[in-house]
């Protein structure tokens, strides 16, 4: 299906985030289809804000993008052995929207981090964060990209064939899970 939609959520907001680069490489290997990168620059979850103003438009947009995507990929950095607050905040906000957008959604997760373990602990915690939302999360192959600053070429391509092969395998499984 060439009109399939793949949505990417990067747990790192910065423009040159290696997690963003990893997602874009995943999207390249997932192709054909449309790749959309979600905007996770959301207000901090605050029950008073929700009571006063309801679900912010940026949050509803994110929830709608998740609902409409054929498959979703999430890449998290590791901050002090856990996923980023940006990502947790986004998951918390989306859980406040109607319609259970994650339910049965084909989902692949990955991590990119400076440390030797490539964010393995952060990714395990991210997997446990997703349990209540009941997506169809792929068990593997697991992608823990270590020494992240040195693993991408200037054009954004993965420098190491081993990561590329595993990522290709993961994206093939994601397409199969999504039935596309």
Ligand X SMILES: Cc1cc2nc3c(=O)[nH]c(=O)nc-3n(C[C@H](O)[C@H](O)[C@H](O)COP(=O)(O)O)c2cc1C
Give the x/- contact pattern for ligand X in 59-78, rule: CB under 6 A.
------------------xx
CB atoms within 10 A of CB 140: 10
At residue 1, the 3 state secondary structure works out as coil
Give the x/- contact pattern for ligand X in 110-149, rule: CB under 6 A.
--xxxx---x----------------------------x-
- In sequence order, which residues have a C-beta less than 8 Å from that of residue 111 and are 6 or more positions away? 19, 75, 76, 77, 78, 118, 119, 120, 122, 123, 126, 143, 144, 145
The smaller minimum CB distance to ligand X, of residues 14 and 157, is found at: 14
Query: Shortest Cβ distance from residue 75 to ligand X (Å)?
Result: 7
Residue nearest to ligand X (CB): 115
The smaller minimum CB distance to ligand X, of residues 145 and 170, is found at: 145
Distance CA 108, CA 85 (A): 19
Among 18, 65, 123, 166, the residue binding ligand X under the rule CB under 6 A is 18
Nearest residue to 142 (alpha-carbon basis) of 160, 169, 161, 116:
169
Check residue 80 for interaction with ligand X (CB under 6 A).
Answer: yes
What are the backbone angles phi and psi of residue 42, rounded to the nearest 5°? Answer: -105, 160
Query: Shortest Cβ distance from residue 155 to ligand X (Å)?
Result: 17
- In sequence order, which residues have a C-beta less than 8 Å from that of residue 48 and are 6 or more positions away? none
Check residue 100 for interaction with ligand X (CB under 6 A).
Answer: no
Residues at the interface with ligand X (CB under 6 A): 12, 14, 17-19, 77-81, 112-115, 119, 148
């Amino acid at each position: 299906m060439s009109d399939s939609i793949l949505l990417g959520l990067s747990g790192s907001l910065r423009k040159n985030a290696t997690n963003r680069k990893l997602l874009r490489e995943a999207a390249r290997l997932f192709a054909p289809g449309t790749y959309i990168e979600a905007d996770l620059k959301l207000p901090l979850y605050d029950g008073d804000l929700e009571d006063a103003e309801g679900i912010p438009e940026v949050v509803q947009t994110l929830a709608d993008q998740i609902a409409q995507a054929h498959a979703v990929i999430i890449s998290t950095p590791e901050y002090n052995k856990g996923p980023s607050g940006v990502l947790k905040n986004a998951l918390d906000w989306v859980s406040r929207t109607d319609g259970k957008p994650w339910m049965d959604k084909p989902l692949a997760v990955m991590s990119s981090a400076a440390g030797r373990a490539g964010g393995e602990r952060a990714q395990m915690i991210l997997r446990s964060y997703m349990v209540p939302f009941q997506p169809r999360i792929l068990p593997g192959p697991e992608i823990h990209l270590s020494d992240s600053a040195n693993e991408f070429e200037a054009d954004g391509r993965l420098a190491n064939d081993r990561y590329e092969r595993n990522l290709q395998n993961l994206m093939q499984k994601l397409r199969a899970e999504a039935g596309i």
